[in-house]
Amino acid sequence: MSPTTGAEPGPDARAGRPPGRARRGLPDGSGLSSSEGRRAPSVTGRVFSILEAFDGDHRALTLTEIARGAGLPVSTAHRLVGELTGWGALERGADGAYRVGLRLWEVGSLAPRSVGLRERAMPILEDLYEAVRQNVQLAVRDGHEIVYVERLAHPEAVRVFSRVGGRWPLHPTAVGQVLLAHAPPVVQESVLTERLVAYTPKTVTDPAALRRVLAAVRRDGVAVCDGMIDLMALSVAAPVRGEDDTVVAALSVVVPSPSEGGGIEPRTLVPAVRAAARGISRALGAPTATRSDAVARPGGPRAGS
Amino acid sequence: MSPTTGAEPGPDARAGRPPGRARRGLPDGSGLSSSEGRRAPSVTGRVFSILEAFDGDHRALTLTEIARGAGLPVSTAHRLVGELTGWGALERGADGAYRVGLRLWEVGSLAPRSVGLRERAMPILEDLYEAVRQNVQLAVRDGHEIVYVERLAHPEAVRVFSRVGGRWPLHPTAVGQVLLAHAPPVVQESVLTERLVAYTPKTVTDPAALRRVLAAVRRDGVAVCDGMIDLMALSVAAPVRGEDDTVVAALSVVVPSPSEGGGIEPRTLVPAVRAAARGISRALGAPTATRSDAVARPGGPRAGS
DNA sequence: CCTTCGCTTCCGGTGAACGGAAGGAACCCT
DNA sequence: AGGGTTCCTTCCGTTCACCGGAAGCGAAGG
């Protein structure tokens, strides 16, 4: 294979592919390996780079693919993958390809910010899902990105690009805007100085405009994003607060965009989303969610019916 | 291929671990660290032992607790935990305790046997959940144990001990019996020669009796466990088949045991559970689930294997 | 005050990890 | 059949990253 293989970050990326972390290129013997490609020379670092070779579009990899993706010699990859497989972090299928193993998932399921949160939120998510029969999503912030923790999708609902465990930037998603609006100021400023990628013509990319959006989100307690990632979809999100009353997650509903002929008036979703988010906050022990003011009044926590 | 290709990883590092909570021998300073379960002295092995220090009852650990649990010197644990935290496999809370991090959960969510399966099964699980309004569970087998992959619990349903990501032995659970009944003969024999722990007086512990139960499960296409783990609960499980028509998972419903005054007649659940399991099998592309015979009445074709 | 406990840093010796190279098994395409 | 390609596995001498005891720190508590 000629040396051109992974030079470009996203030659394979289809339409709606999130800005996944830059895939590590080959060692790239062109001398000038520079400082950027800071590769941790530790064993642990190498193990991580192996795990990072797997992502939503690459769930099954051969040894050689792993080695290439992780930037490791095959013999090294072979040894480490062998250990990973022995423990159960990876599994080898009958086809010889490696996949992420059950044991690793099992440990991951102890993460409080994902499964812990999910456990308490699930009943309310279900109620909301039953009420709207569309896409319902729950996400948390990790650095400058959101990570989807749970997603309930009706088969006939508008198609969305999110995936449980998937990452997206903060600025073009309703959950992201909610989480950013309530993030520490350092994070906000940092994001506002980054280049804000446009996914559609409707994406907010101007820092000043985004700043206004965030202020509105804080004021209204909801974020509404129409066609910022996909012109067909509109999403409404509200913040979920934890014990110390900080925003720990965001909840959203995604419906067909009215500008594309969606039949749902987004404004009717706002009370339901806000109520469900408050319901989860209460389940988490948020102090303000136990008071009874603040929410207008349409519909109780059970969002209809 | 090599000796270990395909099939079960025979030697299996983790088969020895008793299914219950019992785990983690404290260093117990008695000098005699023995050779008992000595862990591989590789860096990777140490990292695994750190991850293993976390479990359902220990989701937040201090550095010292991790070191003790993993059987490592504090300074060593400190260095490795530092690397794990830097990558995101662990997170350190404001209280100084370490928890499993989002990044690790994220990689784990790429495991085909958990989330991959879950994604396709979810709509059907939801339908079943709506229909019965009780506990609905989905589990796979890993070695001599089951691992719960998904669980929907009604707040007012009978309380069960399972947890997403949790492990249980095969013989006392309905899902376990289904998975064991369709496991490779090697696994079955191996389990039948183990000591079968009794959780209640009703637990099957006699190998011959279990063998008859498994035959019945294969014949009927369902397993029914009444009070084998918890006298209050009864569960009904059915097999889920994958593309190659092997049993890849099991689905169950848990209701209050009729002998304890539960209001539901278990027999009425059988068709619903069986139908849901077939629905998931079909979603996974199982050949027999697309035909319309085979399960119509007990004593159908399938019996062998 | 001193003690205890847990976390962090330091540093010299050493053995585990490294990876090039060679061997082997499939699987192409002539 | 034969030569070419790709991928996996094993081997082994070199070296450097890992190891962990010890000491320093800060906080809690008696």
Span A189-231, pLDDT tens digits: 999 999 999 999 999 999 999 999 999 999 999 999 999 999 9
Please give the class, per CATH, of domain A1-108. Answer: mainly alpha
Separation between Cα atoms, residue A176 and residue B11, nearest integer Å: 47
| A62 interface with B at CB cutoff 8 Å | no
Domains A1-108 and A112-290 share a fold: no
**Which residues 84-103 of A are in CB contact (within 8 Å) with B?**
84, 86-89, 91-92, 94, 96, 99-103
pLDDT for res A262: 65
Fold adopted by B43-106:
Arc Repressor Mutant, subunit A (1.10.10)
D21 C1' closest Cα residue? B75
Cα-based angle A26, B80, B21 (whole degrees, multiple of 5): 115
- Say if CB A149 and CB A164 are below 8 A apart: yes
pLDDT for res A213: 97
User: Looking at strand D, which nucleotides approach a protein CB closer than 7 A?
Assistant: 6-11, 16-22
Q: DSSP secondary-structure letter at A114?
A: I
- A90 CB contacts (<8 Å, ≥6 apart)? A81, A84, A98, A99, A100, A101, A104
Which A residues between 33 and 92 have a beta carbon under 7 A from any strand D atom? Answer: 41-45, 62-65, 74-75, 78-79
- Contact, B64 CB vs strand C, < 7 Å: yes
More confident residue, A194 or B295: A194
SS3 state of residue A140: strand
pLDDT for res B157: 86
Contact A111 B126 (CB under 8 A): no
Per-residue exposure over A192-202, b if at least 16 CB sit within 10 Å of its own CB, e if not:
eeeebeebeeb
- pLDDT tens track for B28-57: 323 233 333 445 689 999 999 999 999 999
Nearest CA-CA partner of B235 in B149, B160, B147: B160
CB burial class (10 A; 0-12, 13-18, 19+) of residue B211?
Answer: middle
pLDDT for res A291: 58
- List chain A residues with CB under 8 Å of B80: 44
- Most A CBs within 10 Å, among B91, B98, B110, to test the A interface: B110
Nearest to A109 among B51, B87, B105 (CB): B105
pLDDT for res A210: 97
Contact A91 B113 (CB under 8 A): yes
Q: Which ranges of chain A have pLDDT less than 70?
A: 1-40, 261-263, 290-305
| A231 interface with B at CB cutoff 8 Å | no
| B152 interface with A at CB cutoff 8 Å | yes
Fold adopted by B112-284:
Beta-Lactamase (3.30.450)
In chain A, where the domains are located: 1-108, 112-290
A112-290 to CATH, choices 3.30.450.40, 1.10.1660.10, 3.40.50.300, 1.10.1740.10: 3.30.450.40
Separation between Cα atoms, residue B24 and residue B16, nearest integer Å: 13
Distance from the first to the final alpha carbon of chain B: 25
pLDDT for res B219: 97
Lowest mean pLDDT: which of B62-71, B136-145, B281-290? B281-290
Average pLDDT over residues B164-173: 96
More confident residue, A157 or B202: B202
- Most A CBs within 10 Å, among B2, B102, B113, B117, to test the A interface: B102
Residue A34's alpha-carbon distances to A26, A28, A142, B1, B218, in angstroms, are 13, 11, 28, 41, 62
Contact A51 B142 (CB under 8 A): no
* Other residues' Cβ atoms within 10 Å of the Cβ of residue B291: 9
Residues in a beta bridge with B82? none
Separation between Cα atoms, residue B216 and residue B218, nearest integer Å: 5
* Other residues' Cβ atoms within 10 Å of the Cβ of residue B37: 11
Q: In the Cβ-directed half-sphere of A104, how many Cα atoms lie within 13 Å? A: 31
- Say if CB B89 and CB B54 are below 8 A apart: no
